[in-house]
Structure 1
Amino acid sequence: MKKLFKTLLVLVILGVVGYFGYQYYAENHGVASQIVDEVQYTQYTIATGNLSKTVTGTGTLSISQTEELSLDYAVTIDETLVEAGEVVAQGQALLSIDTDALQTTIDTLQTELDTCETSMASLASSFSSTATLKMPQYGRIKELYISQGQYIQDVMDEVGSIALLSLDNLMYTEVDAAEGMAISTEVKVKIGRNTIDGVVRSIEGGKANITFSDGYSSEGGEVEVVYKSESLGTSIAHISMPYYLTTTEKGYIDAVYAEVNDRKWENNRVAYLINIPVSQEYTTLQSTREKFTTQIKALNALKSEGVLNAPAAGIVASIVSASQSEQTAYTALATLYVGDDKNMVVSVDELDIINVAVGQNVDIAMDAITDKTYSASVSKVSQIGTATSGVTVYNVTLTIAGDDQLKLGMNGTATINIEEVTDVLLVPITAMNTSRNGSYVWVLDPTAEVSTETAAEPGIQTFIETGLSDENYAEVTSGLNAGDIVLITREASSTSTSSESGFDMSMMMNMDGGSMPSMGSGSMPSMGSGSMPSGGTAPSGGGTGGGTGGGGGRQGGN
């Protein structure tokens, strides 16, 4: 037992001493370490091809156009003759109606029609196509806005009245009150060449309010006030009690019986109108009568037939059930999907929606129809997005010209064709690099050899301009020509190698007269360099690009 324990102890000590001994030797006897960065170069020959940018989305088939069957009068449904989902022809019977209940509706409408016609007759008996506008009360006409030949409501719409009246024969103005001036003090008012009497009506805040006859000055005219032969200055005249004369009459002005500053008493003539249209009340009754007449005619025809027919050919989307209760007017009794155009609404990510526009062509592949692709176009792009899990999407409506195989509710995938270019130079995205000066590629220099010494610049740095691109290729608009060879560089993982010259452990330790075995010399295995696969594939329409890949190394010492 003691011998076994002793053996184990020796092995443990040997392991510890060996580890630390190796570390010490490596630090003091030059253990070499090397790191090699492997770099692969794939050659790609620039060629022409086609490139397109698309946006995809999934959706469900629907029909955009619908037509409702509704009536502007109430009916009671006896029986539903078709079901939702059925294809119906124009004029096909959809609903059976209760004709007895329909007769009650006809009788009610006839009573309303009779009342309407009575009211129309009453209005017609009192109607005249001419009218005389008269003064509603006494007043002096200070401003007149009408003239012969005008349509009087045009004047009302533009000015708001047909005349401005002064009702109390007075106008007023305000001046600074003179010393000695009091209520009822008489003054003189000069209006142009006329001088008339005035009187102080009130004095407030150092201002005297002077009234005078309204027969000389106009509203807003300038007057001069004189007190004790001394002028108090000029000021603006205003109507003391203004009144705007208006009318609701319509028609053309045939004659005007008033002038500015005329005094008119109540019921005096102002103007004569001709070609007065019928009243709005009569026009409304006339429309109501036509409506009742049309409804009664349609109800009588419906009563004779007993059914409601499809207004157009289509698919029944919904239809009311038979019920003893009356269906009120304007209720949708049936809704039909009509027309050949079908719709699909797809959701487009916010990063792609800026590229989608009305009119763009779309290819649609239906999940249930695998042997064909349908053509469509973008008919509507929603301006309001919906956020889901931090991503905003927008609804895009597609219009499809389909066939009889397409059924409502079918699922499909839509590919919206955003942009396409043909027969253009293409460069792989992986060959492109960027700097402050723009995008560039490494073009193979046929006179130079790619080696480890030139790995940092494997070719000729060539700046390019690009157009349309997808996830694999970009259109080259300048900088390259067909046949140019570009290098696709890719740096592999770094590998390291190390070696040491060995040492004799027996010199370090001796236990129980035995000597420790020599560790011998050894070396770490070398990590061989590898090479990336060569060659590349050009997009549709282009020539085959690429070539062999050259392995190169860039070595650095520690």
Structure 2
Amino acid sequence: MEEGQLLYTIDSSNASSSLTQSQNSYSQAQTSYQQAVDAKYPEADLTGTVSEVYVNEGDSVSAGTELLKIVADENMYIDFSFTYADSDDFYIGQSATVFIDGFAGSLTGTVTAVSSSSAAVSTGVPLTTVRVRLTNPGLVTTDYTASAVIGSYSSYGQASIKVGASSVITAEASGKVSGFDWLVGDTISSGDRICTITGDSVDNAIESARISVSNAATSLESAQENLEDYSITAPISGTVVTKTAKAGDNIEGGSDSTLCVIYDLSYLEMTMSIDELDISSVEVGQEVQITADAVEGKTYTGVVTEVSVAGTTSGGITTYPVTVRIDETDGLLPGMNVDAEIVISSTEDALAIPASAVNRGDTVLITADSPSAANALDQEAPEGYVYVAVETGVSDDSYIEILSGLQEGDTVAYLQTTSSSSSDSGMMMGGMAGGMPSGGMPSGGGGMAGGPGGF
């Protein structure tokens, strides 16, 4: 199983409903915020020409007050009908004399389109439709009608007038007008700022809307995260060793609701309890030798990955947990008990003698015919033996490194205490070896084990 792989899907209908509500609330809050901002900074809603200005810089306005009018096209367009005329009798660009009902005099326009076919009025008389464009004198609206003379033809009846699109921009909030510098005749584009409405009312509305957006965003994020909790994925890559939930089960949320247990068996970890007298010698990166009764004849190598400073005291003795990682785990399984020794220091090709051969004051008893007897101390010794001073190095349970004072070929003598009830002791003889058994000194120097330890 890979990290992120889907393990369980929990019924999320209620969470999905909550997410939809949160999304709607967030959308509404954003809309309200944008409306509050638009109220402070009114903008043009079409491209055209400023035809009328209703306020001045510094005026106080309220919601609904007209600010200015924009006309997208200053032209008028009128479709005239002509009876007893064919479309060939008219052409684009032809001059037209227009009479607007209610206005004295006439206006001059230009033919912009001619119908390609003739139609007939209710009397059965054929007619042709001609579109004329002319400049609006500024007062004509769609409420007026007009007639026209084009060439030798007079239009049939009164035609309705179409004027260009226009928009009146109004204030959406109360406050004072600032930054208003528009004049009649100015060209304006859609999205151009008309002015700024200043005042506590509009500013408070924006701040309130901003807070609503922030709260709605927080609720939406929470709802999204909550919905994600209904899809349970593998937190690590590994092997499912225990499965406690199956399809159809009712699950109660909480730390006790274990669905399954996944082990990453690519490596194992164990925790050793190290005595307070030895913890100062333990460091991250040190090698650890590990054995398990369940796996005979095999020693595993681990490494210290964490040394905790949070000790535990029991019976007047404080110990500290040390985490060890084991990458080569063939044969080891989670839960096995192990013994472990932390290698504090080690050396290779060392001159070594049994640890019990070193006497107090770092002296060693050797035979009088040993090469190093030439450096004998002026110290009483058994007949045929002399004492020499030595400098020691690393040690383990059995051997100690000799840095100086002895050499290969020396014969070392020492007393070995037996475990018999009479506590007899006997002299042991040993020739100098040229190497020290591998492994080095365990933590604490006394064969300190981290166990039985556990994974």
Report if TM-score (shorter chain) is over 0.5.
no
Greater relative CO (CA pairs within 8 A, separation 6+): 1
TM-score range, shorter chain: 0.3 to 0.5
Structure 1 length as normaliser, TM-score?
Answer: 0.38
